[in-house]
Amino acid sequence: MNDLKHDILIIGAGVVGLTSAISLHLKGFSVGVITNRPVNQKNSKTLSPVVYALNRPSEEFLKKLKLWDNLEAKDYDHVLIWDSFHKEEVLFSGTDCAEPNLGHIVEDQKLMFSCLKSIKQYKIPIYIDETLSAIKDSKTHKIIQAEKKTYSAKLIIGADGKQSWLREQLKLGYVADDYGQTALVGLIKHQSPHFNTARQRFLPNATIALLPTKDPLHSAMIWSLPSDEAGELKKDNKKTFANHLETYWHGRMGKMSLESTLMHYELSSLHARKYGTPGAIILGDAAHVIHPLAGQGLNLGLADVMTLAEMAGQFDLSSKALLEAYTEKRHLDNIATLKAMDFFQLLFWPKHPLAVRMRAVGMRVLDALTPLKRQISLFALGYRPDVSFLESLLERLKK
C-alpha cells in the first residue's frame, strides 16, 4: 500500500474543501485533497439554478485567492421581502447602509470550475474515489486508512459536508434539528425583469426566493416548504408547476416558466459540539448547517477557511493551541449566525397561525425601523453585530 504524506490533508472537494486547499497551498503548506466522488470540471455556458448569495467577506476572500474574475458574479442592489396574508413588504437597499450593493449571486458550477482551475495550476493533488476506513494517530501525524492508500498529515481537515465522516470518526457530537421541509431549486424565466433584486415571498408555512441571475429575465428559485407538499409539487409537469408559481407571485413577475430540472434538498440544521481534536478540524457544513432562508451557509464555511488559513501559520499544525484559537474565533461567529437565524425564524416564520397574521404588523414595524433594517442588511453582508445585541432582541421578541 502506498503511503502519501502531506502537511495538510483535506477530506472533501466541495467549495469549502477546494478553497481550503488553495489558501493553505498559498501559505506554503503541502496540501492534498481526498474526495469520494469525481469532481465536476465542466464550465457550461447554460445558466445553472444552483447558486449562492455571497456576502462581502466571501467576495474579498475569493478575490484574494484570484478566483473571483472567472465567476461572472451578479451583484444585487435590493432585497424585497413580501408577506402572504397582507400587502406588507420591506425593501432593503445597499444605499441604506452606504454599500454599493447587498451582495453577489454566484453559480455553483462557475465557483467549482474556478477552484478546480486554480487547483490544477498549483498542482495540488486530488485523490478521487477514495473510501475511507479509519483515522489513527502516530507520534507526529494523523494516519488515514483508505481502500486504495494510506495517507498521513500533520493536520486533517474535514470539509466533507453535512454527513461528515471525520466528525463521526472523531466522535465530535452535534445538535441537529430536522425542519421537516424540502427546498425545491430550479431556474425560472419570468416576463418582468428582476431589476437586480433578490425577492423572498413569505407564505404561511413556506418561503419562495427568487435570486437574480446575470440575465434580467432569469432567477434562481429556492422554494422551501413542508416535505409532503414538496413531494406533491414535484409530481407536477413543468407547466402546472409554473402556474402554481405565478399564483403565488400574484402576476408580479409576469408569465413564469421552469427552465431546468427541479432539484430538491431536505432541510435541517446542525452544529457540531466540538470543531475537532488536535491535528483534525472540521469546516463548513461538516461543522454547521443552517436554513437557506438567509443564504448564509457557504459564507460561514468560507469564513471558517479564512480563519484557519490565517491561523495555520501561527501555530504548530497538530497542536491543541491551533484548535483552541480556531474554535474561539469561529464559535462566536457561528453562534451569532445561528441566533440570527432564530431571530429571522421568529420574525418571519412564526409557528402559531395567529402569529403568522401578526407578521404583517412586524413587517410594518420593521419597515419603519431604519436602524434595524440597516442592521439586517449589514448582517446579510457579513458584518456581525455582537451576540448580546441579538440575544436582547430575541428576548424582547419572545415576550
Ligand X SMILES: Cc1cc2nc3c(=O)[nH]c(=O)nc-3n(C[C@H](O)[C@H](O)[C@H](O)COP(=O)(O)OP(=O)(O)OC[C@H]3O[C@@H](n4cnc5c(N)ncnc54)[C@H](O)[C@@H]3O)c2cc1C
Angle between helices 387-398 and 320-348 (to 10 degrees): 30
* Cα-based distances in Å from 42 to 46, 101, 112, 218, 329: 11, 29, 9, 21, 36
Comparing CB distances to ligand X, the nearer of 83 and 160 is 160
Is residue 248 near ligand X by the rule CB under 6 A? no
Is residue 88 near ligand X by the rule CB under 6 A? no
CA distance 356 to 170: 42
Cell numbers placing 116? 478546480
Q: Side chain identity at 59, as an amino acid letter?
A: E
Three-class SS string for 101-160?
Answer: CCCEEEEHHHHHHHHHHHHHHCCCCEEECCCEEEEEECCCCEEEEECCCEEEEEEEEECC
Is residue 115 near ligand X by the rule CB under 6 A? no
Is residue 222 near ligand X by the rule CB under 6 A? yes
Biggest CA–CA distance in the chain, Å, is 66
Angle at 148 between CA 276 and CA 275, to 5 degrees: 5
- Shortest Å distance, C-beta 229 to ligand X: 16
The one among 32, 49, 161, 276 contacting ligand X by CB under 6 A: 161
Q: Which of 105, 119, 104 is nearest to 14 (CA)?
A: 119
Residues 273-302 that bind ligand X (CB under 6 A): 284-285, 292, 295-299, 301
Is residue 380 near ligand X by the rule CB under 6 A? no
- Shortest Å distance, C-beta 291 to ligand X: 9
- Shortest Å distance, C-beta 28 to ligand X: 23
CA distance 399 to 392: 11
Cell numbers placing 119? 487547483
Comparing CB distances to ligand X, the nearer of 319 and 327 is 327
Is residue 12 near ligand X by the rule CB under 6 A? yes
Quick check: 97 and 370 in contact, CB under 8 A?
Answer: no
Is residue 159 near ligand X by the rule CB under 6 A? yes
The one among 8, 11, 24, 187 contacting ligand X by CB under 6 A: 11
Is residue 185 near ligand X by the rule CB under 6 A? yes
The one among 13, 308, 312, 336 contacting ligand X by CB under 6 A: 13
CA distance 55 to 73: 12
Is residue 387 near ligand X by the rule CB under 6 A? no
Q: x/- string (CB under 6 A) for ligand X, residues 28-67?
A: ------xxxx--------------xx--------------
The residue ranges that bind ligand X (CB under 6 A) are 11-17, 34-37, 52-53, 132, 159-161, 165, 183, 185, 222, 265, 284-285, 292, 295-299, 301
